[in-house]
Amino acid sequence: MQKFKSEDEFRRAPPVHFRTTTGRLFRQGLVDGQVVQFKPGVGRDALSMLLSPTLCLAHQLFPHSAAVSTTQKAENANFTLPLETGAAWRVNGRPGAHRVLFLNAGLTETQIIAPNRNSIFGRVSEARLQASLDALSGGTAAAVRRFSGPIELSAASHAFLRNAFLDILEESREILPLNSGQGTYLEHSIADILAQGLLSAGDMRPRLPLVGRDPYALYRKVIAYLEQAGDRPVCLSELCSAAGVSAPTLTRAFREVVGVSPMKFERLRRLAQARNDLLRDPDPRSVVKRSALRHGFRELGRFSALYKASYGGLPSQARGPSG
């Protein structure tokens, strides 16, 4: 399988197929978003990905409990298929715990919280998915955006999607290098497979868009405020003022979207930023204190304890670029 070498290779028009890790994907800025880890899991971080400007398909193994947010273009249809059907997932605040497909269309972010991730995820353009739905349904399918959210699948539908997507990943590896014509074929194939899964789902009732005081909307207001606040710690009253709601309302919203309180998430978010500093430095031991202070952790013992609880080791043991 082709390995990722440069950002130019990653972003060029013909699809590329490469192996990497979830952590490296975010640290190198190849995906716009953030991983906020809650606690370590057992297993390896591995990602097999097929990618071009018009499509994405990936098999992800990420054993850690975390909230992962990625920005996306509103004109794309993004999907996530958990492969461990018993795990409890939340995508943009909406839960799914059994055989479920999460579909996000018309949104600019996907926010996933899960105890671990053995999943297939990807994207195609909304227009391409709509064309596949129309063709496969004889023109009777509703608009893609009306179905955004968790969609319960039968065992047969879940198995079909899993096997068909894994087959595409395997086949694309065998025909490297891919050209633009093959890229178009792959985009259509991914859209057709996704459309077949949607049309065979037992529950395809339209879902209303998220508006107003929805938990996810409140979460997004707080995240926007935290991004403006930068590295400094903030208090709960600040977050409530930013969201325009009471502390109990904001706490309920955060627990529904990411599974923890707003203040715990704010602390874990700063911890993730400090970890990124350590992973970028060839000798993380030399920057532990500076990184902790930069991100608002004034007591190094407390910082080390929080870090170990989330990442399973001491800050000085983080593996930098040469590790």
Q: Which amino acid is at 240?
A: C
| E strand or H helix that includes residue 198 | helix 180-200
Which helix (H) or strand (E) segment is 82 a member of?
strand 76-82
Long-range contacts of 130-135 (CB under 8 A, 24+ apart): 131/191, 132/188, 132/191, 132/192, 132/194, 132/195, 133/195, 133/198, 133/199, 135/195
Considering the domain architecture, whether residues 226 and 191 belong to the same structural domain is answered as: no
Same domain, 225 and 141: no
Q: Is this structure's pTM higher than 0.85?
A: no
Residues 121 and 49 in one domain: yes
pLDDT the model gives residue 58? 93
CB–CB of 57/49 below 8 Å? yes
Q: Has residue 2 been placed in a domain? A: no
User: For the segment 211-230, what is each residue's pLDDT rounded down to a tens digit?
Assistant: 346 888 899 999 999 988 88
Residues 27 and 154 in one domain: yes
Q: Which of 102, 99, 120, 116 is nearest to 162 (CA)?
A: 120
Residues 256 and 123 placed together within one structural domain of the fold? no
Q: Check if the beta carbon of residue 266 is closer than 8 Å to that of residue 302.
A: no
**Phi and psi for 317 in degrees, rounded to 5?**
-95, 5
The pLDDT of residue 207 is: 42
Q: Is 277 within the bounds of a domain? A: yes
Q: Is residue 1 part of a domain?
A: no
What strand order describes the sheet that includes 65-71?
33-39, 65-71, 109-114, 89-91, 94-96
pLDDT value of position 298: 78
Domain boundary among 170, 200, 230: 200
Q: How far apart are CA 316 and CA 322, in angstroms?
A: 14
Between the alpha carbon of residue 91 and those of residues 153, 196, 211, 216, 245, the distances in Å are: 16, 22, 16, 10, 22
Boundaries of domain holding 292: 215-317
Same domain membership, residue 195 and residue 224: no
| 323 assigned to some structural domain | no
Check residue 222 and give its pLDDT: 92
Same-domain pairing of 49 and 196: yes
- Positive or negative CA dihedral for 70, 36, 153, 45? positive
| Residue 209 within a domain | no
Please say which residue of 200, 231, 263 terminates a domain. Answer: 200
Final residue in a domain of this structure, among 200, 230, 246: 200
Do 303 and 172 share a domain, yes or no?
Answer: no
| 179-201 pLDDT tens trace | 666 777 788 889 989 988 888 87
Distance CA 286, CA 278 (A): 9
If we measure between CA atoms, which residue out of 50, 79, 160, 66 comes closest to residue 117?
66
Burial class (CB in 10 A: 0-12, 13-18, 19+), 236: middle
Q: Are residues 184 and 62 in the same domain?
A: yes
pLDDT reported for residue 42 = 86
Return the closest-CA partner of residue 296 out of 262, 260, 261, 272: 272
What DSSP character marks residue 3? P
Per-residue tokens: 296 = 């608002």
Residue 172 and residue 247 share a domain: no
pLDDT (tens place) for every residue of the chain, 323 residues total: 334 444 454 444 566 778 888 888 887 777 788 888 888 888 888 999 888 888 899 999 988 888 888 888 889 999 999 987 666 788 887 877 668 898 988 888 888 888 778 899 999 999 999 988 888 777 777 788 877 788 888 888 899 999 999 988 887 776 555 666 677 778 888 998 998 888 887 444 434 343 346 888 899 999 999 988 887 778 888 888 888 888 888 888 998 888 888 889 999 999 998 998 888 877 767 788 888 888 888 788 889 999 999 998 888 887 655 44
- Is residue 159 included in any domain, yes or no? yes
Q: What are residue 229's phi and psi, to 5 degrees?
A: -70, -20
Asked whether residue 222 is assigned to any structural domain, the reply reads yes
8 Å CB contact between 81 and 152: no
Length of the chain as a residue count: 323
**173 and 285 part of one domain:** no
Which 8-state DSSP code applies to residue 105?
Answer: E
CATH number for the domain that contains residue 74:
2.60.120.10
| Residue 121: closest CA among 152, 76, 154, 88 | 76
**Is 292 a member of any domain?**
yes
Q: Give the pLDDT confidence score for residue 166 in this predicted structure.
A: 92
Token pair listed for 206: 């339209």
Look at residues 55, 73, 65, 56 and name the one whose alpha carbon lies nearest to residue 110. Answer: 73
Together in a domain, 185 and 269: no
CA distance linking residue 191 with residue 149, whole number of Å: 17
β-bridge mates for residue 110, sequence order: 70
Q: What is the CATH number of the domain that holds 274?
A: 1.10.10.60
Q: How many domains does the chain have?
A: 2
